[in-house]
Amino acid sequence: MDRIYLDWNATSPLLPSVQDAMTEALESVPGNASSVHQHGQQARSIVERARRAVADAVGAPGQSVVLTGGATESNNQVLRSHVRRVDDPHIVCSAVEHPSVIEVVEQLGEEGVEVAICPVDEAGRLDREYLRDELKAGATLVSVMWANNEMGNLYQVGELADMIHEYGALLHSDTTQAFGRLPIDFESSGVDIATLSFHKTGGPKGIGALVLREGCKVGSLMAGGHQERGRRPGTENVPAAAGLEAAAQAVDEQVETWQQEMKQQRSTFLEQLREAIDDFEIRGHTEQCLPNTLNLAFPDIDGEDLLMALDLEGVSVSSGSACTAGSLEPSHVILAMGYDHDDARRSVRFSFGPSTSQASLEEAADRIGRVVRRLSNI
């Protein structure tokens, strides 16, 4: 039985071009990118090419990109740096943010920083009046993700930026799940600081980026080096940077094609599921959403039970963020949408990518149907 991987929002297979680039760097580039000799300059060239490739892929100036260890590190850096740099910081984030945002905001609140969590409705849409009230009360930074990792909702960051800037605050957006799934134009978006990771779309793990609008400053989380102009000390991961360059180039060249392909895949997958299963619920916004993500709930079936049963059937899915995998508690995202504890536990996320074949999605729908019918009978 061939296994079917439908957990791309947790991580994705490496693109062949990424693997080749990383292998070549591992085998032929021994230098430290901060060294002045030729081996060092060869490594430095790879790091700078990666920076430019990210900038090109998101429509930003090359000097605006800071390479980091991943989106979780980047989110921590943005939020904690803001608290250090701003008088009377007041941070607002949405109730459906990734744990690397919402948990940091909660910790800052425990440390005495003024914070607020913006609620959402049953479809995961922001309560904009609540947000406006917080802005009127002096919010200095608002963090709203470009696209949600669990239900796939897209947030209209351009509209939000207009509102947020009206009150003199900054907009930070975790852009990890949007990158590679839809075109991103940082310059026109109005976002002040974007954070990125690349392993959800064929890139390497362990490397990410900050993208800063001109005039925005972010301090380092750590001390001990001058790398990234003092904003991220530590020896650069040159093989990961080589893979990042390849991944960013692939996104820059193919994201619009991938987006259309995944829209069609999602539509066909849903059609096949409806033929295989009598009843299920789609959670989240059904129109303003990522083309590769579906959060589904099946009547009277616990999500963890379904996840394990599907794993035995050769289908890999998840019940929420990989960063909270193993928790006995239901997803904070689904709870924030107003579902009770038991209903929230029924959610299962299906996510796929450009290399997911239509045939595998059709086969997955058949297997899901068999498992759901079996569990329903039990």
3-state SS of the chain is CCCEECECCCCCCCCHHHHHHHHHHHHHCCCCCCCCCHHHHHHHHHHHHHHHHHHHHHCCCHHHEEEECCHHHHHHHHHHHHHHHCCCCEEEEECCCCHHHHHHHHHHHHCCCEEEEECECCCCCECHHHHHHHHHCCCCEEECCCECCCCCEECCHHHHHHHHHHCCCEEEEECCCCCCCCCCCHHHHCCCEEEEECCCCCCCCCCEEEEECCCCCCCCCCCCCCCHHHCCCCCCCHHHHHHHHHHHHHHHHHHHHHHHHHHHHHHHHHHHHHHHCCCCEEECCCCCECCCEEEEECCCCCHHHHHHHHHHCCEECECCCHHHCCCCCCCHHHHHCCCCHHHHCCEEEEECCCCCCHHHHHHHHHHHHHHHHHHHHC
Closest CA to 298 of 370, 219, 245: 370
What residues does CATH 3.90.1150.10 cover in the chain?
4-13+255-377
Closest CA to 371 of 355, 351, 348: 348
Q: Which CATH number fits domain 16-250: 3.40.190.10, 3.30.930.10, 3.40.228.10, 3.40.640.10?
A: 3.40.640.10
Residues linked to residue 349 through DSSP beta bridges, in sequence order: 295, 318
d(CA 135, CA 17): 45
Tokens 């600081």 label which residue?
193
Within 10 angstroms of residue 188's Cβ, the number of other Cβ atoms is: 9
Predicted confidence at residue 365, as pLDDT, reads: 97
What residues does CATH 3.40.640.10 cover in the chain?
16-250
Closest CA to 244 of 194, 205, 288: 205
**What does the pLDDT profile of the chain (378 residues) look like in tens digits?**
799 999 999 999 999 999 999 999 999 999 989 899 999 999 999 999 999 999 999 999 988 999 999 999 999 999 999 999 999 999 999 999 999 999 999 999 999 999 999 999 999 999 999 999 999 999 999 999 999 999 999 999 999 999 999 999 999 999 999 999 999 999 999 999 999 999 999 999 999 999 999 999 898 877 888 888 778 888 899 999 999 999 999 999 999 999 999 999 999 999 999 999 989 999 999 999 999 999 999 999 999 999 999 999 999 999 865 555 555 678 999 999 999 999 999 999 999 999 999 999 999 999 999 999 999 987
Predicted confidence at residue 324, as pLDDT, reads: 52
d(CA 106, CA 263): 35
CB-based contact 272:69 (threshold 8 Å):
no
Closest CA to 181 of 53, 351, 59, 360: 351
Give catalytic residue positions.
323
Predicted confidence at residue 234, as pLDDT, reads: 86
Helix axes 16-28, 238-276, angle to 10 degrees: 160
Predicted confidence at residue 103, as pLDDT, reads: 97
The fold for domain 4-13+255-377 equals Aspartate Aminotransferase, domain 1 (3.90.1150)
